[in-house]
Structure 1
Amino acid sequence: MTLHLPSSSRARTRPARRRLLAAAVPVALAAGLLGGCASTSTPSDQPATGTQTPSPWPSDVTPSATPTDTFTRDADGKVTGISYPGEDGETALDLLLGVDPTAKVQGKGANAFVVGIGGRTADDAKHEFWSLEVDGKQAKVGAGTLKTKDGETITWTLATY
Protein backbone atom coordinates (compact mmCIF):
# COMPACT_ATOMS: atom_id res chain seq x y z
CA MET A 1 0.00 0.00 0.00
CA THR A 2 1.36 3.42 -0.93
CA LEU A 3 0.52 6.46 1.14
CA HIS A 4 0.39 9.67 -0.86
CA LEU A 5 0.91 12.80 1.21
CA PRO A 6 -0.05 16.28 0.04
CA SER A 7 2.99 18.14 -1.26
CA SER A 8 3.12 20.36 1.84
CA SER A 9 3.32 17.26 4.07
CA ARG A 10 6.05 15.75 1.91
CA ALA A 11 8.07 18.95 2.14
CA ARG A 12 7.87 18.93 5.94
CA THR A 13 9.26 15.38 6.08
CA ARG A 14 12.44 16.19 4.10
CA PRO A 15 14.46 17.62 7.03
CA ALA A 16 13.27 14.79 9.26
CA ARG A 17 14.43 12.23 6.67
CA ARG A 18 17.78 13.99 6.37
CA ARG A 19 18.24 14.06 10.14
CA LEU A 20 17.28 10.38 10.32
CA LEU A 21 19.71 9.52 7.54
CA ALA A 22 22.42 11.64 9.15
CA ALA A 23 21.89 9.73 12.40
CA ALA A 24 21.86 6.37 10.60
CA VAL A 25 25.18 6.91 8.82
CA PRO A 26 27.40 6.65 11.95
CA VAL A 27 25.44 3.60 13.12
CA ALA A 28 25.82 1.91 9.73
CA LEU A 29 29.52 2.75 9.62
CA ALA A 30 30.05 1.31 13.09
CA ALA A 31 28.13 -1.84 12.14
CA GLY A 32 30.25 -2.18 9.00
CA LEU A 33 33.45 -1.80 11.00
CA LEU A 34 32.33 -4.35 13.56
CA GLY A 35 31.22 -6.72 10.81
CA GLY A 36 34.65 -6.34 9.18
CA CYS A 37 36.26 -7.54 12.41
CA ALA A 38 34.77 -11.00 12.01
CA SER A 39 37.37 -13.65 11.30
CA THR A 40 37.59 -14.49 7.62
CA SER A 41 41.28 -15.29 7.59
CA THR A 42 42.83 -17.92 5.42
CA PRO A 43 44.53 -20.92 7.01
CA SER A 44 48.02 -20.00 8.24
CA ASP A 45 49.67 -22.20 5.61
CA GLN A 46 47.92 -20.26 2.83
CA PRO A 47 49.34 -16.85 1.90
CA ALA A 48 46.89 -13.96 1.82
CA THR A 49 46.41 -12.55 -1.65
CA GLY A 50 45.06 -9.26 -2.94
CA THR A 51 44.26 -6.08 -1.10
CA GLN A 52 40.97 -4.43 -0.38
CA THR A 53 40.37 -0.72 -0.29
CA PRO A 54 37.43 0.04 1.96
CA SER A 55 34.69 2.25 0.59
CA PRO A 56 34.06 5.45 2.58
CA TRP A 57 30.35 4.53 2.66
CA PRO A 58 28.67 1.14 2.98
CA SER A 59 27.02 0.14 -0.29
CA ASP A 60 23.51 0.59 1.12
CA VAL A 61 24.17 4.00 2.75
CA THR A 62 24.52 7.39 1.15
CA PRO A 63 25.57 10.58 2.93
CA SER A 64 22.81 13.03 3.85
CA ALA A 65 24.51 15.97 2.17
CA THR A 66 24.04 16.36 -1.56
CA PRO A 67 26.95 17.24 -3.87
CA THR A 68 25.83 20.88 -3.77
CA ASP A 69 26.15 21.07 0.05
CA THR A 70 29.59 22.61 0.48
CA PHE A 71 31.54 23.51 3.62
CA THR A 72 34.23 26.15 3.17
CA ARG A 73 37.33 26.10 5.38
CA ASP A 74 40.19 28.41 6.24
CA ALA A 75 43.89 27.55 5.89
CA ASP A 76 43.78 25.75 9.26
CA GLY A 77 40.89 23.56 8.12
CA LYS A 78 38.32 25.28 10.35
CA VAL A 79 34.82 25.67 8.90
CA THR A 80 34.08 29.23 7.76
CA GLY A 81 30.85 28.61 5.86
CA ILE A 82 28.40 26.30 4.16
CA SER A 83 26.17 26.51 1.07
CA TYR A 84 23.20 24.36 0.16
CA PRO A 85 20.21 24.54 -2.19
CA GLY A 86 16.87 25.95 -1.12
CA GLU A 87 13.73 23.81 -1.28
CA ASP A 88 10.24 25.16 -1.84
CA GLY A 89 8.60 25.95 1.51
CA GLU A 90 11.47 24.73 3.73
CA THR A 91 13.09 27.15 6.17
CA ALA A 92 16.78 27.93 5.94
CA LEU A 93 17.10 26.57 9.49
CA ASP A 94 15.42 23.22 8.76
CA LEU A 95 17.62 22.74 5.69
CA LEU A 96 20.75 23.68 7.65
CA LEU A 97 19.92 21.10 10.32
CA GLY A 98 19.33 18.57 7.54
CA VAL A 99 22.83 19.04 6.07
CA ASP A 100 24.55 19.72 9.41
CA PRO A 101 22.70 18.05 12.28
CA THR A 102 25.46 19.25 14.64
CA ALA A 103 24.70 22.95 14.01
CA LYS A 104 24.18 24.83 17.28
CA VAL A 105 21.02 26.90 17.57
CA GLN A 106 19.78 29.09 20.40
CA GLY A 107 16.02 29.63 20.56
CA LYS A 108 13.35 28.11 18.35
CA GLY A 109 11.27 28.95 15.28
CA ALA A 110 11.26 32.64 14.41
CA ASN A 111 13.57 33.33 17.38
CA ALA A 112 16.18 30.75 16.39
CA PHE A 113 19.73 32.08 16.24
CA VAL A 114 22.49 29.95 14.70
CA VAL A 115 25.68 30.09 16.78
CA GLY A 116 27.63 27.11 15.41
CA ILE A 117 28.04 25.34 12.07
CA GLY A 118 30.30 22.44 11.15
CA GLY A 119 31.61 22.19 14.70
CA ARG A 120 32.65 25.86 14.75
CA THR A 121 30.96 28.18 17.22
CA ALA A 122 31.04 31.92 16.60
CA ASP A 123 33.37 33.58 19.12
CA ASP A 124 31.79 36.60 20.82
CA ALA A 125 35.22 37.77 22.01
CA LYS A 126 36.26 38.01 18.33
CA HIS A 127 32.91 39.64 17.41
CA GLU A 128 32.01 36.68 15.16
CA PHE A 129 28.53 35.66 14.03
CA TRP A 130 27.04 33.33 11.40
CA SER A 131 25.71 35.47 8.55
CA LEU A 132 22.86 34.16 6.37
CA GLU A 133 22.58 34.98 2.66
CA VAL A 134 20.22 33.92 -0.11
CA ASP A 135 21.68 34.07 -3.61
CA GLY A 136 24.45 36.36 -2.36
CA LYS A 137 22.14 38.84 -0.61
CA GLN A 138 21.89 39.29 3.16
CA ALA A 139 18.71 37.69 4.54
CA LYS A 140 16.17 40.16 5.90
CA VAL A 141 14.63 37.63 8.33
CA GLY A 142 16.02 34.93 10.59
CA ALA A 143 16.75 31.35 9.52
CA GLY A 144 13.70 29.96 11.35
CA THR A 145 11.42 32.31 9.40
CA LEU A 146 13.12 32.37 5.99
CA LYS A 147 11.18 30.13 3.60
CA THR A 148 13.45 29.00 0.78
CA LYS A 149 12.66 28.18 -2.83
CA ASP A 150 13.96 25.63 -5.31
CA GLY A 151 16.89 27.08 -7.25
CA GLU A 152 18.08 29.41 -4.47
CA THR A 153 21.50 29.06 -2.89
CA ILE A 154 21.55 29.42 0.88
CA THR A 155 24.94 30.43 2.28
CA TRP A 156 26.15 30.81 5.85
CA THR A 157 29.45 32.62 6.42
CA LEU A 158 31.37 33.24 9.63
CA ALA A 159 31.52 37.05 9.72
CA THR A 160 32.60 39.75 12.14
CA TYR A 161 30.98 42.95 13.33
Structure 2
Amino acid sequence: MNTTSRRPLRAFGSAATALFVAGLLAACGGASPEPEAPVSATQSAPSDAASSSASPSGSATASDGAETLTYPGRTGATALELLLEADPSAEVTGKGENAFVTAIGGRAADDSKKEFWSLSVDGEPAQVGAGTLETEDGQEITWTLETY
Protein backbone atom coordinates (compact mmCIF):
# COMPACT_ATOMS: atom_id res chain seq x y z
CA MET A 1 0.00 0.00 0.00
CA ASN A 2 1.39 3.39 -0.95
CA THR A 3 1.14 5.64 2.12
CA THR A 4 3.10 8.56 0.68
CA SER A 5 0.03 9.84 -1.17
CA ARG A 6 -1.76 10.38 2.18
CA ARG A 7 1.17 12.32 3.69
CA PRO A 8 0.32 15.66 2.02
CA LEU A 9 -3.32 15.38 3.08
CA ARG A 10 -2.33 14.59 6.66
CA ALA A 11 0.06 17.56 6.67
CA PHE A 12 -2.69 19.79 5.31
CA GLY A 13 -5.14 18.48 7.90
CA SER A 14 -2.62 19.06 10.67
CA ALA A 15 -1.87 22.58 9.45
CA ALA A 16 -5.57 23.41 9.18
CA THR A 17 -6.17 21.95 12.63
CA ALA A 18 -3.27 23.97 14.04
CA LEU A 19 -4.68 27.19 12.61
CA PHE A 20 -8.13 26.36 13.96
CA VAL A 21 -6.66 25.55 17.37
CA ALA A 22 -4.57 28.73 17.41
CA GLY A 23 -7.73 30.75 16.77
CA LEU A 24 -9.56 28.98 19.56
CA LEU A 25 -6.66 29.46 21.94
CA ALA A 26 -6.54 33.17 21.23
CA ALA A 27 -10.25 33.53 21.94
CA CYS A 28 -10.69 31.37 25.01
CA GLY A 29 -9.82 31.10 28.69
CA GLY A 30 -11.20 29.52 31.86
CA ALA A 31 -11.18 26.35 33.91
CA SER A 32 -11.68 22.77 32.86
CA PRO A 33 -14.87 20.85 33.69
CA GLU A 34 -14.90 18.15 36.37
CA PRO A 35 -14.36 14.56 35.12
CA GLU A 36 -16.92 11.78 35.48
CA ALA A 37 -16.25 8.05 36.01
CA PRO A 38 -13.02 6.70 34.41
CA VAL A 39 -12.97 4.78 31.13
CA SER A 40 -10.40 2.39 29.74
CA ALA A 41 -7.63 4.03 27.79
CA THR A 42 -4.27 3.30 26.25
CA GLN A 43 -1.57 5.88 26.22
CA SER A 44 1.81 6.13 24.59
CA ALA A 45 3.91 8.65 26.44
CA PRO A 46 7.14 9.05 28.36
CA SER A 47 7.43 6.79 31.39
CA ASP A 48 7.32 9.78 33.74
CA ALA A 49 3.87 10.83 32.52
CA ALA A 50 1.30 11.36 35.26
CA SER A 51 -0.90 8.34 35.85
CA SER A 52 -4.67 8.59 35.90
CA SER A 53 -7.45 6.64 37.53
CA ALA A 54 -8.09 5.03 34.13
CA SER A 55 -4.55 3.60 34.25
CA PRO A 56 -3.45 4.42 30.71
CA SER A 57 -0.52 2.30 29.65
CA GLY A 58 1.69 1.78 26.65
CA SER A 59 4.98 2.89 25.24
CA ALA A 60 6.22 5.44 22.75
CA THR A 61 5.59 4.54 19.13
CA ALA A 62 8.84 3.15 17.74
CA SER A 63 8.46 4.57 14.23
CA ASP A 64 8.07 8.27 15.02
CA GLY A 65 8.08 8.66 18.80
CA ALA A 66 4.49 9.98 18.70
CA GLU A 67 2.71 10.42 21.99
CA THR A 68 -0.93 9.34 21.97
CA LEU A 69 -3.92 8.67 24.17
CA THR A 70 -6.70 6.46 22.81
CA TYR A 71 -10.02 5.60 24.39
CA PRO A 72 -13.43 4.34 23.23
CA GLY A 73 -16.28 6.68 22.40
CA ARG A 74 -19.49 6.52 24.40
CA THR A 75 -22.88 7.60 23.11
CA GLY A 76 -23.95 10.82 24.83
CA ALA A 77 -20.46 11.87 25.96
CA THR A 78 -18.16 14.42 24.33
CA ALA A 79 -14.54 13.68 23.47
CA LEU A 80 -13.54 16.22 26.13
CA GLU A 81 -15.62 14.56 28.87
CA LEU A 82 -14.08 11.19 28.02
CA LEU A 83 -10.57 12.66 27.91
CA LEU A 84 -10.98 14.06 31.41
CA GLU A 85 -12.29 10.68 32.61
CA ALA A 86 -9.34 8.86 31.04
CA ASP A 87 -6.81 11.44 32.25
CA PRO A 88 -8.03 13.73 35.05
CA SER A 89 -4.64 15.49 34.94
CA ALA A 90 -5.23 16.67 31.34
CA GLU A 91 -4.99 20.44 31.06
CA VAL A 92 -7.66 22.37 29.19
CA THR A 93 -8.22 26.07 28.58
CA GLY A 94 -11.74 27.28 27.86
CA LYS A 95 -14.96 25.34 28.21
CA GLY A 96 -17.43 23.53 25.99
CA GLU A 97 -17.04 24.35 22.31
CA ASN A 98 -14.13 26.69 23.16
CA ALA A 99 -12.12 24.05 25.05
CA PHE A 100 -8.50 23.64 23.97
CA VAL A 101 -6.41 20.74 25.27
CA THR A 102 -2.90 21.85 26.22
CA ALA A 103 -1.54 18.81 28.12
CA ILE A 104 -2.27 15.08 28.36
CA GLY A 105 -0.59 12.59 30.68
CA GLY A 106 1.56 15.35 32.14
CA ARG A 107 2.96 16.19 28.67
CA ALA A 108 2.21 19.76 27.64
CA ALA A 109 2.33 20.79 24.00
CA ASP A 110 5.36 23.06 23.56
CA ASP A 111 4.53 26.22 21.59
CA SER A 112 8.22 26.86 20.90
CA LYS A 113 8.34 23.49 19.11
CA LYS A 114 5.01 24.22 17.34
CA GLU A 115 3.33 21.27 19.09
CA PHE A 116 -0.37 20.74 19.68
CA TRP A 117 -2.64 17.90 20.78
CA SER A 118 -4.58 16.71 17.71
CA LEU A 119 -7.95 14.95 18.06
CA SER A 120 -9.09 12.21 15.69
CA VAL A 121 -12.05 9.84 15.51
CA ASP A 122 -11.56 6.42 13.96
CA GLY A 123 -8.28 7.63 12.44
CA GLU A 124 -9.74 10.77 10.82
CA PRO A 125 -9.06 14.33 12.07
CA ALA A 126 -11.98 15.73 14.08
CA GLN A 127 -13.96 18.45 12.31
CA VAL A 128 -15.09 20.10 15.56
CA GLY A 129 -13.50 20.72 18.96
CA ALA A 130 -13.38 18.16 21.77
CA GLY A 131 -16.05 19.95 23.81
CA THR A 132 -18.47 19.80 20.87
CA LEU A 133 -17.62 16.36 19.48
CA GLU A 134 -20.37 13.97 20.58
CA THR A 135 -18.92 10.45 20.55
CA GLU A 136 -20.68 7.16 19.91
CA ASP A 137 -20.21 3.63 21.16
CA GLY A 138 -17.70 1.79 18.98
CA GLN A 139 -15.70 4.85 17.97
CA GLU A 140 -11.99 5.12 18.70
CA ILE A 141 -11.00 8.57 19.99
CA THR A 142 -7.29 9.39 19.73
CA TRP A 143 -5.21 12.37 20.86
CA THR A 144 -1.77 12.67 19.27
CA LEU A 145 0.95 15.20 20.00
CA GLU A 146 1.75 16.71 16.60
CA THR A 147 3.60 19.66 15.13
CA TYR A 148 2.50 22.24 12.59
Alignment TM class, shorter chain as reference: 0.5 to 0.7
Counterpart residue number, 2:44: 72
| Long gaps (5+) in structure 2 | 1-34, 50-59, 61-66
Instruction: Output the CA distance in 1 between the equivalents of 2:45 and 2:101.
Output: 18
Instruction: Output the CA distance in 1 between the equivalents of 2:39 and 2:82.
Output: 10
Corresponding letter in the other structure for 1:70: T
Instruction: Output the CA distance in 2 between the equivalents of 1:84 and 1:71.
Output: 9
| Long gaps (5+) in structure 1 | 1-14, 19-63
Shift of 1:65: 4.2
User: Percent identity among equivalent residues?
Assistant: 57
TM-score by length of 1: 0.57
TM-score by length of 2: 0.62
Which of these residues, 60, 64, 69, is aligned with residue 82 of structure 1? 69
Give RMSD over aligned pairs.
Answer: 1.6
Counterpart residue number, 1:94: 81
Counterpart residue number, 1:49: none
* 1:55-89 C-alpha deviation (Å, 9 max, x unpaired): xxxxxxxxx442xx100125x76671100000001
Instruction: Output the CA distance in 2 between the equivalents of 1:96 and 1:73.
Output: 15
Instruction: Output the CA distance in 1 between the equivalents of 2:145 and 2:39.
Output: 20
Counterpart residue number, 2:128: 141
Aligned residue pairs: how many? 98
Corresponding letter in the other structure for 2:106: G
* 1:119-143 C-alpha deviation (Å, 9 max, x unpaired): 0000000000000000000000000
Instruction: Output the CA distance in 1 between the equivalents of 2:45 and 2:91.
Output: 18
Instruction: Output the CA distance in 2 between the equivalents of 1:88 and 1:140.
Output: 18
Counterpart residue number, 2:91: 104
Alignment of 1:8-157 (within 5 A): 15-16=35-36, 18=37, 64-66=38-40, 69-73=41-45, 80-157=67-144
> Is the 8 Å Cα contact of residues 98 and 131 (structure 2) preserved in structure 1?
yes
* Aligned structure 1 segments of 4 or more residues deviating by more than 3 angstroms: 76-79
